[in-house]
Amino acid sequence: MKPFVLVAALALACGPALAAEPIVGTWRLSNGETVDYRPCGSKYCSTVNSGPYKGKTVGTMEGSGSRYDGTVVDPSSDKSYEGRVEIQGGQLVLTGCVAKVFCRSQTWTRVGKAG
């Protein structure tokens, strides 16, 4: 019985550390297309799942919790911008900026967790 108690205690203690980051999962854009964020090394990489830009990236982020910073890529032009992601419940707010002054944001809705 003691080994089971030890394993259960370790599982409870490690559970939060093993949980996926809030950015990880599938997100729906306002136009209906979907994007996945997945771990890639120490960062989180995005892949467009549907629509005309399927297979392209929309950026790479680093961070944890509700705030991530990195690069945002416009898949129509392949131009990169400084950006950030903020997670607010079931929504992801992606912001890309030119010279940290001229910024545009999009709000996406979670449609699935990482599997």
d(CA 45, CA 23): 10
- pLDDT band for position 5 (cuts 50, 70, 90): very low
Structure tokens at 104: 């545009």
The pTM of this model reads 0.79
Structure tokens at 66: 């509700």
Closest CA to 93 of 105, 81, 103: 105
User: Residues 24-56: pLDDT tens digits?
Assistant: 999 999 999 999 999 999 999 999 999 999 999
User: Residues 51-110: pLDDT tens digits?
Assistant: 999 999 999 999 999 999 999 999 999 999 999 999 998 999 999 999 888 999 999 999
d(CA 56, CA 50): 10
Class of domain 19-109: mainly beta
pLDDT of residue 99: 86
pLDDT of residue 101: 85
